[in-house]
Amino acid sequence: MESFSGGHDPCFQYSSSVKEKATMKSYRDRSYARWRTYGHSCFSGFYRIRLLIVFSFVFAATLLLTRASSLMGWSRDHQTPQVPFRSRYTVVINTWKRNDLLKRSISHYSACQGVDAIRIVWSEPNVPTERLRTSVENLVSVASRKKDEFISVQFDIHVNDDLNNRFKPLDDLRTDAILSIDDDVLVPCSTLETAFSVWTSAPHSMVGFVPRMHWVKAKNPSFGSYEYSYGGWWSVWWMGTYSMVLSKAAFIHKKYLDLYTNELPASIRQYVKDERNCEDIAMSFLVANETGAPPIWIKTRIYEIGSTGISSLQGHSEHRTDCINHFVTLFGSMPLVASNVKVADARHLWFW
């Protein structure tokens, strides 16, 4: 202390004199005396040095937090080198009479890393107009040029309006991975990268962003089996348990398209077609029956750009409950497996 007081500062002069008079006193007592005697002007002079030290610490810490990763060559946006086709996926967009949403979603997904192709499941009575085709192709070619990676885009035209169309096997797929997505759902590209890397570790699982649950409602006495009810996002949020991820935003293996169309009991597909609902629950049943394991939920925010989805209709939950109970009967068992695991991108978590 004395060495850098220089003798001009009354605070530090005093501290020296106190030291002479009260050599037996402890350091803590001395500083207490000094602080009391000299009041504000002196206190602030001393305090300024402390403040400076504190600020330097804060500044250094901030600098460290913001710069350390780059000094060390740790970039959060580091791209691992892309290996062409195993590290890519095909986006399969299910659309219905919402060309503006379709275009928005195509321009979003074509900009994401790892997209190999975009396939549009088209079940409308009229074929896509030349104008729509041209604008879709333009969107994709602009994105391809920006990324310097060729992305193809194709309409898959279906003659009838059937919800099962979204799971029809696709010709000329170059990837095993499919991102099944609705035309009104936007998932951030960064989350897609996370989810896709999870999928590559568990390629037989469904990896998605919208979790749902089946709850046991009652034991059905006549069959000795259970009656289930459908749990929406509210119950998943409350209980932290899920057993399905919806195919409106999920990665699946392309083999499930074939299994859905050719192996799933036809009565289930018929039910989906007639009720115009629950193709996603049917797919969840199928995958759970194949794997005997729960799906994987990736933590993210998704953006629903159209607000007239089927889930906003009255009685949605009752319909879904009916679907689950029907499918259990048609399947002969309840294949869904519950999970409490939520996967998050470690770059966006502050606490270990």
CB of 58 to ligand NAG, least distance (A): 60
Counting contacts by CB under 6 A, is residue 105 touching ligand NAG? no
- Report CA torsion sign: 121, 126, 128, 132: negative
Q: In the numeric block, which tokens belong to residue 94?
A: 């299910």
Binding test (CB under 6 A) with ligand NAG, winner from 331, 334, 336, 339: 331
d(CA 122, CA 242): 31
Structure tokens at 53: 């030290």
Return the number of the residue (264 or 283) whose C-beta is nearest ligand NAG. 264
Q: Which residues sit opposite 218 in a β-bridge?
A: 227
Which of 2, 29, 161, 263 forms a contact with ligand NAG (CB under 6 A)? 263
Region binding ligand NAG by CB under 6 A among candidate stretches 74-82, 145-153, 261-269, 274-282: 261-269
Cβ-contact 102, 93 below 8 angstroms: yes
Q: Can you list the alpha helix ranges (DSSP code H) found in 227-315? A: 233-239, 255-262, 266-275, 279-291
Rounded Cα gap, residues 208 and 187, in angstroms? 10
Q: Is the dihedral of CA 302, 305, 309, 314 positive or negative?
A: positive
Restricted to residues 285-304, the positions that interact with ligand NAG (CB under 6 A) are 289
Q: Applying CB under 6 A, which of residues 265, 302, 322, 343 lies at the interface with ligand NAG?
A: 265
Tokens 């040095």 correspond to 49
The residue (of 89 and 327) whose beta carbon lies closer to ligand NAG is: 327
From 116, 183, 184, 280, the catalytic residue: 280
Specify the residue, 129 or 333, whose C-beta has the smaller distance to ligand NAG. Answer: 333
- Of 26-34, 76-84, 193-201, 257-265, the segment contacting ligand NAG by CB under 6 A is 257-265
Separation CA 303–CA 219 (nearest Å): 38
> Smallest gap, in angstroms, from Cβ of residue 330 to ligand NAG?
8
Does position 232 interact with ligand NAG (CB under 6 A)? The reply is no
Report whether 89 contacts 114 (CB < 8 A). Answer: yes
**Residue 242 binds to ligand NAG (criterion: CB under 6 A):** no
Q: Catalytic site residue 280?
A: yes
Q: Report the catalytic residues.
A: 280
Binding site for ligand NAG (CB under 6 A): 263-265, 289, 331
